[in-house]
Amino acid sequence: MVLHFFHIPPSNWLESVHWALPSVMIYTLWHSVGLYTVLFLAGLASIPRSVLEAAATDGARGWRVFRRILWPLLGPITFFVIVLATINTMQTFSQIYTLTGGPHGGAGGPAFSTTTDSLLIYQTAFLYLHFSLASAMSLILFVLILGLTLIQKWLADRFVFYR
C-alpha cells in the first residue's frame, strides 16, 4: 500500500534472491522491537529519581546525563537484551518458515538465500528424515549459542556494573 501511494510498482520482496533476507530481517526487527522497548522502559523506570536530581544539581544536562549516568545504569538491561537478541537471531525459524514457503515447500528460498541453521535442522529432520544428523546439528547449534553467550558474559563482567 505504501509503494502504491508513492506510485512505485510492487515488488516480490520474498521471491528475490537479493531482497528475501533483508525483508525477513526487517520483519524480525519489527516483530521484536516491542519486547526490547518494554525491557528498556522497565530499566529506565528502575533508575532512582534521586540520581537524576543529583546529576542536575551538579550541572549535568542532556547527552552527558545519558552517556555518563543513564547508559551505565542500563548496562544490565542492555546486556540482557543483547544476549536475548543473539539467541533469538541464532534460533530464527518461524519467520522464515512462514514467509518463504511454509508447509508447501520452498522454505528457505529463493535459492536458499534465507536458510538458517534452525530451518536447516528442521528440513534435515522432517523433510529428509535424517534424525540423527539433525540431532547432531542441534547440538552444534546449542554449543555455538552457549559459546557466544559465555563470551558475552565475559565481556559483561568487564563492562557491566550492577548496583
Tens digits of residue pLDDT in 64-96: 999 999 999 999 999 999 999 999 999 999 999
Q: Tell which CATH architecture fits domain 18-159.
A: Orthogonal Bundle (1.10)
H helical segments located in 61-130: 62-65, 71-73, 75-90, 94-99, 117-122
Domain boundaries, the chain: 18-159
SS3 of residue 122 by DSSP: helix
H helical segments located in the chain: 2-5, 20-45, 49-57, 62-65, 71-73, 75-90, 94-99, 117-122, 131-159
pLDDT of residue 4: 85
* pTM: predicted TM-score of the whole model, two decimal places: 0.85
Please list the ranges in the chain whose pLDDT falls under 70.
103-105, 163
pLDDT of residue 104: 64
On whether the CB atoms of residues 128 and 105 are closer than 8 A, the answer is no
Distance CA 134, CA 129 (A): 9
pLDDT of residue 100: 87
**CA-closest candidate to residue 14, choices 127, 104, 98:** 98
Using alpha carbons, list the distances in angstroms from residue 13 to 100, 108, 109, 145, 148.
Answer: 10, 14, 12, 30, 31
